[in-house]
Amino acid sequence: MEGTTVPFIVKLSTEMILKDTVIQIVEDYLAKTEYYLVDVKVSTDNRISVEIDAFEGVSIDFCVEVSRFIESKLDRETEDYELEVSSAGLTEPFKVLKQYEKNMGNEVEVLTKSGQKTTGILVAANETEFQVEVEKQIKPEGSKRKTTVSEILTFNYQEIKTTKYIIRFK
Structural domains in the chain, sorted by start: 2-87 (3.30.300), 97-165 (2.30.30.100)
Residue 89: its pLDDT value, please?
A: 86
Residue 26: its pLDDT value, please?
A: 97
Residue 42 and residue 74: Cα distance in Å, rounded?
A: 13
Residue 170: its pLDDT value, please?
A: 74
pLDDT at 102 over 90: yes
pTM here is: 0.79
Average pLDDT over residues 72-78: 86
C-alpha triplet 144, 146, 151: angle, nearest 5° = 145
Q: 30-50: per-residue pLDDT in tens? A: 999 999 999 999 998 889 999
pLDDT at 100 over 90: yes
Residue 15: its pLDDT value, please?
A: 57
pLDDT tier at 141 (50, 70, 90 boundaries)? confident
Residue 48: its pLDDT value, please?
A: 95
Residue 8: its pLDDT value, please?
A: 35
φ/ψ of residue 81, rounded to 5? -150, 165
Residue 10: its pLDDT value, please?
A: 34
- Percent of the chain residues topping a pLDDT of 90: 69
Q: Do 91 and 164 touch, CB atoms closer than 8 A?
A: yes
